[in-house]
Structure 1
């Protein structure tokens, strides 16, 4: 089976490419680095020729509201046209849990627009919505910098190891299209401020984290449902504390 991974040289994409190749699939890592650009359309037809499956894990270079919306809309339309011409049988895309619950986030609005285009296409599809990656906890923590400390919401968050997300994506890519949405999240839920304290402690960082229900999440207001999965979601096996221990060992 030929599978094209859009965004195939990034954190998620390179992992999926490796998994699929180990399982014997002809897998193409498509990205601007390899001459494939979904915004301009460059290299798309050549990359998708003979492909049965496309896995889209690409991300916008800018998260500014208008730029991120334009990226996902333009990229999706170009990709759908190329897939239709190539006879692609299954489109798999990575999305984010809770898109409808955070309308104040420009990024979430853009991802929701991407999902809408995928659903409207005639190409069979599977959407995987994942919670926030462990690898992004540092950036999430830093988004709450307030003077010499941090001010973060105590709303629940259910982070997941990116490797666990990749395992699910690789599985979905070789399966039958569900023409719907699958959710995946980590095994534990934490108040966001508590998660930040765990992360900072692993770095020996003693700066204070203040819980503030008014604190935003990249411009959006949170509650305990915003960033967690529904009851029927798949659950990744890796716990945050175990991931932290391995990450700390790798950098020591």
Structure 2
């Protein structure tokens, strides 16, 4: 997290920086959308290939602001420094500021000292095109909560995978006794088994195999393909025909 002495220009007031996040095709707050264009759309931004940096803070009156800048490298360095416990003064050049959006798109539990508690700025039609940004609702099940759940699974997957011993799922190439024994208890190597499996021949020499499971064959032929499988295959083909959006 940046120190509260860090500030960037937001209109005529200074912004006390609380944190910053990346909004790029490779890394973006997934709670805002399933892919990069959708996350940009939540903020009313065009999905530029290079992405943005989002600087979240408060002005001198305590109002929440999100400053969007196009200096992605600066924000990336700041985040990496804070993650290492190092101080880093995030002060973007005014020429890199794309827009200053009222509100926060993400929930923050911190605030700047010495200023009023975080609140939405008063509506000013000259600088606000719409209502202030608000974090997605994650209290009830919905797209935002689903994406958060997927992120948690991705974070924990490696540790879960380490708990599984692949050796427990390996099969013996030589098989076991149950494989060598038929369903009726007859050993596959016995003459009786061969006589059951061997086809009979007609006077013309054509081989004819006895159908000992006609009911099973009829059941399989009458079974309709699963609708879910057809849907998944159709979606896979769609990804081949039209590549997914950036960041998905």
- TM bucket by the smaller chain? under 0.3
**Which has the higher Rg, Structure 1 or Structure 2?**
2
Structure that is richer in helix per residue: 1
TM-score, structure 2 as length reference: 0.26
Q: TM-score, normalised by structure 1?
A: 0.26
